[in-house]
Structure 1
Amino acid sequence: MRLKIVCCSFLLLSACATKQYPQAPLVSAEESAAFDCQSIKVEIAKTRSIQSEIDRTGEFDGKTVLGVLGDFGIGNGIAKSEARQKASNRLTQLQALETAKCLSQG
């Protein structure tokens, strides 16, 4: 009986062990229209900061151990990969916007 309680407790803890990565949404049409050159540069800096935060969140810690024990780390790996992809997509959009709006002003 005690083993069942320990196993159930462990499963509950490992299920909650997925790390919460910062998310970077795609650039909306409203943002694209409203951003000027300076605000694009600020958003690029923010997105790069999000990428750094994703890397820091992905560092080894207690949740990594629980995630590995619970689902072999698959949940954390998927969450990190999705967060990285979203940040990369936003950065690509912002850089394209920068090329279109900032370089045409110069």
Structure 2
Amino acid sequence: MNMKLWMAVFSTFLLAACATKQYPQAPLVSAEESAVFDCQAINVEIAKTRSIQAEIERTGEFDGKTVLGALGDFGIGNGIAKTEARQKASDRLTQLRALEAAKCSG
């Protein structure tokens, strides 16, 4: 009976992809933001998004939470969270660059 309990607990940990790290999130540029941003605000937002990207990479460095994530679900949850955070930041930066090209060229 004790072995079945341990197997159930172990299986639960294997199937649960939980991130132990909290990655910063960059929201997409809203319609309101794109309407009111001027060139200076766009440049500030680009700098903030680059800062978020750097923070994502710092958060992804090996530490104790990496070990816990590997023990819990082989690091799958942390990997998924990092990939999603990177994609969101990249998408926001792409939007800001397009907005910059539209409003600040000339």
TM-score normalised to structure 2 length? 0.83
1:67 aligns with: 69
Q: What percent of counterpart residues are identical?
A: 83
In 2, Cα distance between the equivalents of 1:90 and 1:51?
A: 11
1:97 aligns with: 99
Conserved? CA contact 2:21–2:59, under 8 Å: yes
1:36 aligns with: 38
In 1, Cα distance between the equivalents of 2:32 and 2:89?
A: 18
- Structure 1, residues 22-77: CA drift from partner, whole Å, max 9, x if none? 00000000000000000000000000000000000000000000100110000000
2:22 to 1, 20, 42: 20
What SS is found at the alignment partner of 1:19?
Answer: coil
In 2, Cα distance between the equivalents of 1:97 and 1:21?
A: 25
- Structure 1, residues 63-106: CA drift from partner, whole Å, max 9, x if none? 00010011000000000000000000000000000000000xx3
Residues 51-62 of structure 1 mapped to structure 2, 5 A cutoff:
51-62=53-64
Structural RMSD (CA): 2.0
List runs of 5+ in structure 1 lacking aligned partners: none
In 2, Cα distance between the equivalents of 1:71 and 1:16?
A: 7
In 1, Cα distance between the equivalents of 2:59 and 2:44?
A: 22
What SS is found at the alignment partner of 1:85?
Answer: helix
In 1, Cα distance between the equivalents of 2:40 and 2:19?
A: 39
In 2, Cα distance between the equivalents of 1:29 and 1:16?
A: 33
Aligned pair count reads 96
TM-score normalised to structure 1 length? 0.83
Conserved? CA contact 1:24–1:50, under 8 Å: yes
Compared CA separation, residues 79 and 16, structure 1 to 2 (3 A): closer
Conserved? CA contact 2:18–2:73, under 8 Å: no
Q: Give 2:23's aligned amino acid.
A: Y
Conserved? CA contact 1:44–1:94, under 8 Å: yes
Q: Give 2:45's aligned amino acid.
A: E
